[in-house]
Structure 1
Amino acid sequence: CLPLFSGIAEAKGGKDMVQEKTAYITRCGYVSSGSSTGGYERIELTRVSDSEANFKSNSKDWHNSPERTVDKNISADVLKKMEELGREYKIFKWKPFRKSALFALDAASVSLSVSYKDSSNGAGWTLTMRSDDELSDKQTDYYHKLLDLLRSAEGQ
């Protein structure tokens, strides 16, 4: 059976052009889908301004259950907490993740991504962690804390 998150990260964009000290998060998203129950969960938090963010989520427990949706604007404070978390875990220094050779036919596909933009030059960078990535203990800890912050945004 595949662990919930067994992987390593993938970076897309101009990571070398995005400086940790001048970067800010533009978006954080989570997707879990593909299990045999037909259920899924999607969460997206997008920066609207320096002080405001948009929180969207939709989910189903199984294929014939009603879909739950949320779409609301909230304070951008949670994005600032995510930025602090990224600096604490030094994600800008992470190497690309290796892919796991393990798989489970009935496992859900999980992806958590966080996108940054550099305020000094406009360059962007996205860190994506997937269920087939091999993560260190520290990276797994970051993943869970980031997901907890993302899920907590709905209550703001």
Structure 2
Amino acid sequence: MRIRPAVASDAPAVRGCAEAAYARYVAAIGRRPAPMDTDVATAIAADQIHVAELEGTVAGYLHINPAGDELLLDAVAVLPEFAGEGIGKALIRFAEDEARRLGLGWVRLYTNAKMVENVAIYPHLGYVETGRRRDEGYDRVFFEKRIPRRDY
């Protein structure tokens, strides 16, 4: 597997990955999860999307947004046929490494409260829940992880 910055020609694959990965949550949430409606082309142009390629296929993607002293992990998605192969965890580690590379102190993220698998996995990856609230019409659970800075 290779993680690389997305390019404009990846936009259809990234949109397809978001549709496939998040479709199962539409009924539980009562509406489309926010990543399904992201302006992928704009995010790619802003260097905010990275893709995980496996055997020449975009198997997953990561949407990150550095701001201030943090990196917002806006979305992580993996095609259902590649679920369970460690791609999601590799993308999250990539986000943490990117925060470290940029000298940022935190990775922050949120997930929908109805995405119970996500809510359960983030603490196992070292993330601390910081709150739950209604945000932009979604019931969200917020997490953060301190990224130690390297002193060379």
| Bigger Rg, which one | 1
More helix by share: 2
Compare relative contact order (CA 8 Å, sep 6+) and give the higher one, 1 or 2: 1
More strand by share: 1
